[in-house]
């Protein structure tokens, strides 16, 4: 891959937690970082904080609510219009098991179960729309921030209308991310674009986590940054990592049958 000073990297969900720390890390390495979030105030604060730590940091702000398919499309269009090539897309934005909204089932602006919409469908669509600029910058990378918390998907009730729980919604969305990663790696073989997924760390101290933290945020940053920057991974694709270690997702992730793509998303 090109030197970090020549790379452009989009990090979704970059105004809090892992995304914010990762954006700062990558800016510190010299990359141009596209900072995504859904609040202009938090976006401005994030960029000010990074510039205080990294004078001269090259940052660009993009606002979009990933619970809206239209806004995902607008985000992709804005990035593609302003950057001829994208070296790395980090699909990091996500919703935890109970935040926001507690234990009640919620829907996105388009009527999809909220966690599936934000954690999986948004990244699926954004990746698809940005493939042309990723291809133009090849060798390039797609990094999907998933989790060891995974649950099999019931394709008769993907939106969990019949049997909802926040934990199940979160865990099936994370398995779907790995499914997409495996399928995408096969599709993109030979193009110079790789796709990998990871569980960055366990119970990091972020607003998404309601349990007692078990890992430092720096552990998640290190693991995720490695998938973005390590030249040893130039030819590695379709893999799932637990931190920095190769791991296996649930068996369903490797099933060659139809994946959980959203026909309504593809048609809009």
Contacting residues for 172 by C-beta, under 8 A, at least 6 apart: 116, 150, 151, 152, 153, 158, 160
Structure-token pair, residue 5: 């000073």
**Count of positions (residues) in the chain:** 268
End-to-end CA distance of the chain: 34
- Give me Rg for the CA atoms of the chain: 17
62: annotated active-site residue: no
Determine the Cα–Cα distance for residues 113 and 165; give it in Å rounded to an integer.
Answer: 11
Question: Which has the closest alpha carbon to 254: 150, 124, 169, 111?
Answer: 150
The count of C-alpha atoms lying within 13 angstroms of the C-alpha of 119, restricted to the half-sphere facing its C-beta, is: 33
* Beta strand residue intervals within 56-166, DSSP E: 58-63, 88-91, 140-145
Q: Which of 164, 170, 203, 254 is catalytic?
A: 170
Active-site amino acid positions: 170
């Amino acid at each position: 891959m090109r030197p970090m000073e020549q790379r452009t990297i989009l990090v979704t969900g970059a105004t809090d937690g892992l995304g914010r720390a990762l954006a700062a890390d990558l800016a510190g390495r010299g990359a141009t970082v596209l900072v995504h979030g859904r609040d202009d105030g938090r976006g401005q604060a994030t960029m000010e904080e990074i510039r205080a730590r990294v004078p001269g940091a090259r940052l660009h702000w993009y606002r979009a609510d990933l619970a809206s398919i239209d806004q995902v499309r607008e985000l992709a269009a804005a990035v593609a219009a302003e950057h001829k090539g994208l070296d790395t897309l980090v699909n990091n934005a996500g919703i935890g098991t109970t935040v926001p909204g507690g234990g009640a089932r919620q829907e996105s602006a388009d009527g999809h179960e909220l966690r599936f919409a934000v954690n999986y469908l948004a990244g699926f669509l954004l990746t698809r729309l940005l493939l042309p600029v990723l291809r133009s910058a090849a060798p390039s990378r797609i990094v999907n921030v998933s989790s060891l918390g995974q649950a099999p998907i019931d394709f008769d009730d993907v939106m969990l209308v019949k049997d909802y729980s926040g934990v199940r919604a979160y865990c099936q969305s994370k398995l779907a991310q790995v499914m997409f990663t495996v399928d995408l790696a096969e599709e993109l073989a030979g193009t110079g674009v790789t796709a990998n997924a990871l569980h960055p760390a366990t119970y990091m101290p972020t607003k998404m986590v309601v349990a007692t933290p078990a890992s430092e945020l720096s552990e998640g940053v290190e693991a995720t940054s490695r998938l973005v920057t390590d030249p040893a991974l130039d030819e590695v694709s379709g893999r799932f990592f637990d931190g920095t270690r190769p791991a296996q997702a649930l068996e369903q992730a490797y099933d060659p049958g139809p994946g959980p793509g959203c026909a309504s998303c593809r048609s809009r």
